[in-house]
Amino acid sequence: MCGIIAYSGKDNAVPYLVDGIKNLEYRGYDSFGCALIDKGNIIVRKDVGDTASVLNKYRIIKNFSNQGMFHTRWATHGGISKENAHPLTDCKGEIAVVHNGIIENWQDIKVSLDGHRFVSQTDTEVIPHLLEERLSRGDSMERALRAVFNEIKGASSFVVMRKGDSNMYAVKHGAPLVLGLGKNGFFVSSDIPSFLKYTNKVVFLHDGDLVVFNQNSVRIKNLLNKKDKHDVHTVDISPGSLDKGKYRHFMLKEINEQSKLLKSFENYDFSKVRLAASKIRSAHRVYLVGAGSSFHAAAYGALILRKSGIDAIAIQGQDIQNFSRLFERNDVFVIISQSGETADLIRSLQLMKGFRIGIINTEGSYLSRNVDLVINMMAGIEKAVAATKSFMNTMVLLEMINSYANGSSESAMHDLKLLNLNLYSLFVPSVLSAIKRIAEELKDDGDIFYVGRDYGYLISLEGALKMKEVSYIHAEAFDLSTIKHGPLALISQGSKVIAAVTEPVEETFYGLEEIKARGGHIIGISPSNSTVFDEFVHVPEAGVFSFVPLVIVAQLISYYTAVKRGINPDKPRNLAKSVTVN
């Protein structure tokens, strides 16, 4: 979940690295650090805090260096402190390392490095000391890196600089790392957006790859002796998507971008969706797998497939091991991941015995290269930590897979066009004013309850998650059909309850009336108003895609609540966009 950006080339590395690290902040971080070459020495600057404050504190932008590496840390081993920030160095300060991942056997390694001086509580620090030890025995850097790679356990990718060495070194294992081919130099980074402003020529690295690069050249060798191809890909993403444009936050921008993305599905190539539907139709059982928002999408997909008569269940990534004895060769697995680098999914991939379909947003990611069929989410770059458009696009793709599986694809496309015709009504001033008024009422609450039936309950789960993520208010979702089996005890006078009403079913309103009778303040999101609602946000109907406006309203309520609480919704505390370590 840490962010790495490194550069070696003929140009000054610092501006590239400053831009690059700012475009990796979405990965989550609590400290920042860098290593640069200055008159032959490695200069390390690091501290706790956001990137901008540390950059300003040490006036890093005024440095000139042809090679360097920047890092944002998301604490795993060791607390949030300057000493634990990356880069970490060896005893002499001549080897610097930035790292993303977890070294599982770091404590045993640390004990074995007798006589070495450690200054942090991190697992990362064993890497520079292991290299120091090997180099002191006369090993070349590449031989030392191979030895370190073989000794450390766990998913770990890292970049190394050494005093007096014109080369930089990068090792990929588990955690994401890509190579960018610039006009006057080379980038190694955790993600493409960090260098997209300067090049769209990318090499997707494989596990075990060692990259040796300097001002003039780059070469790749595989430490696992694999013969993987390293083709150069041209990434078709506009650098303009990295900017907030007219919006105050990326989250608001990405919520608004959903309208354009939904329209693009009218001309989408559904050939892979049809193939996925065919595999699903003939499957013994379908398992839809995800984490966080991706799990909520998986639960929605499982629900609509079951309604089509297909045996489908949703499971979380960490539960795959518990289900593995039930898996059969003719099962189908639908793996949902925005990053394509979700750690528990990668770790469990080999347990999935059947046909594996990936709905993934990141080209070249580990999961995208290791499933049997990849369906691109087509959500583009999503920089806010809270998933919005990637969740929405996944839901649309699952609905289309279901429609092809049950033979209703023409009707689904009609509903999609109807949705796109009417979606503008969510963004008119009267609706936005109502959402902002609701957010003002919610901002000081300690608890918010989301309720719904059927797929309305799944939308409630996602709405509650968004509220927790970006506003830090405790929010919980309940199925209205089970509200009397315990949750009703939580309702008291003035309790805020957000109801996602998908259909005007009597049972839905019975549950809401019981909540209201106990003092609940009900905020209805629905195509039609009701006397049970204390407040109401109107959303258009769109057949099988009627979930879309409900989701967008829930996203906007959480966004404006966070803003009214003075919280930056793009960078929620303690969270990272890509959960690449467990």
Of 288, 272, 298, 444, nearest to 374 by C-alpha is 272
**Interatomic CA distance for residues 412 and 326, integer angstroms:** 33
DSSP strand pairing (355-360 vs 447-452): unpaired
Ordered strands of the 88-89 beta sheet: 88-89, 95-101, 156-162, 168-171, 209-213, 218-222
Tell me, yes or no, if 2 is annotated catalytic: yes
- Distant-in-sequence contacts of 473-477, Cβ < 8 A, 24+ apart: 473/442, 473/445, 473/446, 473/447, 473/448, 473/561, 473/565, 474/446, 474/447, 474/448, 475/447, 475/448, 475/449, 475/450, 476/447, 476/448, 476/449, 476/450, 477/449, 477/450, 477/451, 477/452
Q: Which residue has the tokens 């390293």?
A: 230
Element (H, E) at 547: helix 547-564
- Three-state secondary structure call for residue 233: strand
- Three-state secondary structure call for residue 535: strand
- Three-state secondary structure call for residue 481: helix
Q: Specify the amino acid at residue 482.
A: T
**Interatomic CA distance for residues 276 and 271, integer angstroms:** 9
Name the token pair of 411: 């009707």
Of 189, 211, 199, nearest to 23 by C-alpha is 189
**Interatomic CA distance for residues 120 and 146, integer angstroms:** 24
Residues 6+ apart with CB under 8 A from 554: 450, 459, 462, 463, 466, 498, 500, 525
Beta strands in 87-200 (DSSP E): 88-89, 95-101, 156-162, 168-171, 178-181, 185-189
**Interatomic CA distance for residues 221 and 227, integer angstroms:** 9
**Interatomic CA distance for residues 201 and 231, integer angstroms:** 10
DSSP label at 257? H
Torsion-angle region of 290 (φ positive above 0: left; ψ -120 to 50: alpha; else: beta) = beta
- Which residue stretches of 351-428 are H helix? 366-370, 389-406, 409-422
- Select which of 172, 389, 466, 577 is catalytic: 577
**Interatomic CA distance for residues 300 and 355, integer angstroms:** 20
Of 179, 181, 159, 157, nearest to 168 by C-alpha is 159
Contact 350, 327 (CB under 8 A): no
- Select which of 2, 22, 383, 468 is catalytic: 2
User: Which residues are catalytically annotated?
Assistant: 2, 577
